[in-house]
Amino acid sequence: MKILYISNRVPYPANGGYPIVLRNTLKGILNLGAEVSIFSLNPAKHFVEIARINDPVLNQISITTSYLNTHVSAMNAFKSLLFNKSYIVSRYYNTNAAIQLRNILSETNFDIIQLEGLFVVPYLPVIRQFSRAKVIYRAHNVEYQIWDRFADSEKWPLRKFYLHSLAGTLRKFELSQLNNFDAVATICEADLRELKYRGCTVPMQNLSVQIDPDEYNPDLSLTEPLSVFHIGSLKWLPNKEGLEWFLENVWADLKELNVGLKFYIAGKNIPEEFRNHEADDVKIHSSVENAKEFMNSKAMMIVPLLSGSGMRVKIIEAMAMKKCVISTSLGAEGIRYEHGRNILIADTADDFYRYILQCSTDHSFVEMIGENARHLVETDYCMETGSAAIMDFYHKIEEA
């Protein structure tokens, strides 16, 4: 089976949810004998020099990229708002990229073409014109939900109005495209239910996040006992919003107890205002060379997500590293967890406060949560079974 993946960024390095999901998908189906190619947009903010990629998975794959400048233009944003078009999506369409894609499709007959997320959907007309392949859309999130929830939490009226306008045009585009594909895949059951409820009638299947457990080797002897951490890009607004809430409503009270807890914040694009929180008990890492080693060295992961959509891949990774994860229900959305067994669900500041204190004094409880979390990953999110499910879905759609 010949498969082409079209992505809005190169899946290297695999240091965030989107590239991790895509890279692991590629690894799994390569192991099952598929012939794989990628056409990736290469936006300036995530630019990757292909010649410098050193990855045993991606080195097996034909990769074509197209440079893209997604810099936000106030004029273009205003025009999109004026003409009721989604500026969030339109920034990812480029004529040169469309020509490159046309050339790829003219040279190779693919069986399956998978669009990785909403931002590459504007290239669907090119695919339909130059290929007879079955087209699958994989929804990494329900994008308009992210913007709806974020707009709802905005306090400034003018900005709230603008964010709701962006969410509205995004919703219109996202829902209008659902039945233009041969099939839709999600990585979160809640997203599948939402899209079906919103009118998706083409074949659908939830294909959860998958990881290779052999790539995650926890060593509890290297873990700092009284340590709490958050890892993720703070360029993503829901992460930023949730972390600000946690620092103000939870950590400020924990700090007053003076019990020796330390909070580590790691990720790219950390806004300068977070530097104001840096102190003896709050450490900020704007660059983490190895995310797995960083997670291994800390005891408790917090995910105080208040808005957003989709599944948090970093939670699955932390579980694979036997971490005790404390998350909001929304943050853990899509994960088949058991509260109190393999994760702790905290939907209020008091919940976070109480669970962090409990975990600080009961190390055997923390280890139990971590062991059960690792078991969940090995049984429900293992690459071997996940890849087989993906290939079965592809064969079903190809034969339809």
Identify the residue with better confidence: 249 or 84. 249
Q: Are residues 7 and 88 in the same domain?
A: yes
Together in a domain, 376 and 392: no
In this prediction, residue 300 carries a pLDDT of 97
Given a contact cutoff of 8 angstroms between Cβ atoms, the answer to whether 325 and 319 are in contact is yes
Distances (CA, A) of 144 to 4, 166, 170: 26, 9, 6
Do 392 and 277 belong to one domain?
no
Cis previous bond, 225, omega within 30: no
Tell me the pLDDT band of 80, cut-offs 50, 70 and 90.
Answer: low
182 and 275 assigned to the same domain: no
Relative orientation angle of helices 74-82 and 157-177, to the nearest 10 degrees: 70
Q: Which amino acid is at 5?
A: Y
Of 134-148, 152-166, 284-298, 308-322, least confident by mean pLDDT is 152-166
Q: How far is CA 201 from the centre of its chain?
A: 25
Q: What is the pLDDT of residue 75?
A: 65
Asked if 138 contacts 187 with a C-beta cutoff of 8 angstroms, the reply is yes
Q: Rounded to the nearest 10 degrees, what angle do helices 157-177 and 143-153 cross at? A: 170
Q: What is the CA radius of gyration of the chain?
A: 21
Q: Could you tell me if 364 and 387 lie in one domain?
A: no
Residue 295's domain is classified under what CATH number? 3.40.50.2000
Q: In this structure, are 310 and 340 located in the same domain?
A: yes
* Domain identity same for 38 and 180: yes
83 and 196 part of one domain: yes
What is the residue range of 160's domain? 2-210+382-399
d(CA 264, CA 228): 6
Total domain count for the chain?
A: 2
Whether residues 105 and 226 fall in one domain = no
Q: Is residue 1 over pLDDT 90?
A: yes
At 274-333, the pLDDT tens digits run 877 888 899 999 878 899 999 999 999 999 998 777 789 999 999 999 999 999 999 999
Could you tell me if 154 and 242 lie in one domain? no
Does 52 share its domain with 180?
Answer: yes
Name the CA dihedral angle for 47, 174, 102, 134, rounded to a multiple of 10 degrees: 120
Q: For residue 48, is pLDDT > 70? A: yes
Per-residue pLDDT tens digits for 210-268: 999 999 999 999 999 999 999 988 877 788 889 999 999 999 999 888 789 999 999 87
- pLDDT of 187 above 80: yes
Task: Categorize the per-residue pLDDT at 73 as very low, low, confident or very high, splitting at 50, 70 and 90.
Answer: low
User: How confident is the model at residue 150, as a pLDDT?
Assistant: 77
76 pLDDT band, cuts 50/70/90, is low
> Given this model, what pLDDT does residue 82 score?
66
Strand order in the sheet with 324-327: 282-285, 262-266, 227-231, 300-303, 324-327, 344-345
pLDDT above 90 covers a percentage of the chain that reads: 69
Say if residue 399's pLDDT is above 80: yes
Q: What is the pLDDT of residue 85?
A: 77
Structure-token match 């089976």, residue found? 1
Q: What is the rounded distance in angstroms from the CA atom of residue 191 to the CA atom of residue 337?
A: 17
Amino acid identity, position 344: L
Burial (CB count <10 Å: 0-12, 13-18, 19+), residue 258: exposed
DSSP per-residue codes, 143-176: HHHHHHHHHHH--SHHHHHHHHHHHHHHHHHHHH
Q: Which helix (H) or strand (E) holds 244?
A: helix 237-246
Query: In whole angstroms, what is the distance from residue 101 CA to residue 123 CA?
Result: 8
Least confident of 29-38, 112-121, 183-192, 309-318: 309-318
pLDDT attached to residue 78: 60
State pLDDT tens for residues 115-127. 999 999 999 999 9
> Given CA atoms 240, 300, 25, 13 in this order, what sign does their dihedral have?
positive
Query: Is the pLDDT score of 269 beyond 80?
Result: no
Write down the mean pLDDT value for the chain: 91
Question: Are 206 and 231 contained in the same domain?
Answer: no
